[in-house]
Each structure stands twice: as structure tokens, then as C-alpha cells.
């Protein structure tokens, strides 16, 4: 004689969903949190690339409107650039400025106004890990990442909702949990009033 299956309480499934979604999306949450912190401060720094500058005085070219192969090669040698010089990658963006791309990451900007020309090699490099984190967080990949990010957004919603129902009674939503949740809503509301409604 088989015993009838005992029906599990809703709380069991609530904890189950919260726990396993938490485990599964822990990595993604860390990536989004680090990237969020990095892009929040975009006005103060570049979260994707670091740019190192090396400045040198150079001998003026024969013309500030045409860089010859020999001049380009000599310049690359001065900056210890191993790539070969290509006249196709020379730009004249404004009067008194020449830009030369050695590679996609290395650009030399030459100011030609003074008697002695100033050359600035800007070496742009991806920030390790952060560039990738921002690429994912800002959904630059689009396509299938959009789907994954949508699933993650739903998971976050479920985590929030199931989190609210973790405890019952005094420690539940009508008690301690409710006070914390309310405080968490009120704190950003003050900022909404300061910057959105008042502004």
C-alpha cells in the first residue's frame, strides 16, 4: 500500500528558486556589479581602455601636408614601433596636426605649429577583464546575449520576489523584512525627489 505524497509548502519552492537562481547567476551578478561600478565613474576615467602617452620632440618633416615613406619609417624607428608605415594611415584632421596610425591601438599625433614638432604616441590597451565585463553588461554583443541578459533580468526579479517571502511572521514581510524593504525603497526615492522631481 503506497502512502499518498505529502504536498510540499510553497515556502519550500520559494527557497529552492531563490537558492538555485542565486547559485546559477552568482557569476553574472559579480560581472554586472563590477562593470556597474566601473561605468558609474565614466566621467572620471575610461573603464574600457588605458591610454599610455609617450611624448618626443621630432625633426620637422619636409612638409606638414605630406608624410613621406622615409619620414614615416624614421618616426616609427624613433618610437621603437615594429609595424611598417603606411601612407594610407596618415590623417590631417586640422591645421597644424598630423595623425599617424601605427596599429589600431597605437596612434601618433604630431603638432606642427612650433619650430620643433611634438609627437605624442598614444597606446590604447583594453583593461583586462573590465573591457569584457563592460562589453557584457552594456550588451554590446546583442544577438544571443540579449536573450541571456533578459533571462538574467527575469531571474533578478524572481530573486527579489522570493527574497521578500523568505520568512514568515514577525521576521516576514509584515514585520522586519517589510521594514528593510521599505527602507530600501525610500532611500532612492529621496534621490529621485532631489534629482528628478526637483530638477
Partner 1 sequence: MFKLFSLALSLSLYLSTSALAADKVFGERPNLKDTVKISQILDAPEKYLGKVIQVEGIVMDVCPMRGCWMKVKSDRKKENLFIKVNDGEMVFPMSARGKNTVIKGKLVKQVMPVKDVIEVEKARAEKKGEKFDPKSVKGPRTSYMFKPIGVVIQDK
Q: Which of 28, 58, 124, 156 binds partner 1 (CB under 8 A)?
A: 124
Q: How far is the CB of 141 from partner 1 (least distance, A)?
A: 9
| 139 makes contact with partner 1 (CB under 8 A) | yes
Distance CA 44, CA 147 (A): 32
Q: Which is nearer to partner 1, 88 or 197 (CB)?
A: 88
89 touching partner 1, by CB under 8 A: yes
Q: Per CB under 8 A, which region of 5-13, 16-24, 135-143, 170-178 contacts partner 1?
A: 135-143
Closest to partner 1 by CB, 38 vs 177, is 38
Q: Is 93 in the site for partner 1 (CB under 8 A)?
A: yes
Q: Compare residues 59 and 105 and give the one whose CB is closer to partner 1.
A: 105
Q: Which of 80, 104, 187, 191 binds partner 1 (CB under 8 A)?
A: 104
Residue 134 to residues 39, 142, 144, Cα–Cα distance (Å) = 8, 13, 16
Asked if 146 is part of the footprint of partner 1 (rule: CB under 8 A), the reply reads: no
Of 99, 149, 165, 166, the one binding partner 1 by CB under 8 A:
99
- Using CB under 8 A as the binding rule, whether residue 138 contacts partner 1 is answered as yes
User: Is 114 an interacting residue with respect to partner 1 (CB under 8 A)?
Assistant: no
Helix/strand/coil (H, E, C) string of the chain?
CCCCCCCCCHHHHHHHHHHHHHHHCHHHHHHHHHHHHHHHCCCCCCCCEEEEEEEEEECCCCCCCCCCHHHHHHHHHHCCCCCCCCHHHEEEEECCEEEEECCCCEEEEEECCCCCEEEEEEEEEECCCHHHHHHHHCCCCCHHHHHHHHHHHHHHHHHHHHHHCCCCHHHCCCCHHHHHHHHHHHHHHHHHHHHHHCC
Residues that bind partner 1 (CB under 8 A): 42, 46, 48-49, 51, 65, 88-89, 91-95, 99, 101, 103-105, 107, 124, 126, 135, 138-140, 144
Amino acid at each position: 500500500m503506497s502512502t499518498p505524497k505529502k504536498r510540499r509548502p510553497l515556502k519550500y519552492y520559494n527557497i529552492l528558486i531563490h537558492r538555485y537562481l542565486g547559485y546559477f547567476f552568482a557569476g553574472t551578478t559579480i560581472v554586472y556589479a563590477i562593470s556597474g561600478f566601473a561605468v558609474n565613474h565614466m566621467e572620471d576615467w575610461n573603464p574600457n581602455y588605458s591610454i599610455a602617452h609617450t611624448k618626443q620632440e621630432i625633426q620637422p618633416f619636409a612638409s606638414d601636408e605630406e608624410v613621406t615613406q622615409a619620414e614615416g619609417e624614421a618616426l616609427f624607428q624613433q618610437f621603437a614601433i615594429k609595424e611598417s608605415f603606411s601612407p594610407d594611415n596618415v590623417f590631417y584632421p586640422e591645421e597644424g596636426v598630423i595623425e599617424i596610425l601605427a596599429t589600431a591601438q597605437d596612434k601618433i599625433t604630431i603638432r606642427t605649429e612650433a619650430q620643433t614638432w611634438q609627437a605624442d604616441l598614444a597606446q590604447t590597451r583594453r583593461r583586462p577583464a573590465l573591457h569584457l565585463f563592460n562589453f557584457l553588461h552594456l550588451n554590446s554583443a546583442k544577438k544571443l546575449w540579449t536573450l541571456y541578459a533578459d533571462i538574467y533580468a527575469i531571474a533578478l526579479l524572481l530573486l527579489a520576489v522570493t527574497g521578500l517571502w523568505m520568512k514568515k511572521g514577525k521576521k516576514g514581510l509584515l514585520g522586519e523584512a517589510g521594514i528593510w524593504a521599505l527602507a530600501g525603497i525610500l532611500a532612492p526615492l529621496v534621490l529621485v525627489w532631489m534629482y528628478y522631481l526637483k530638477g
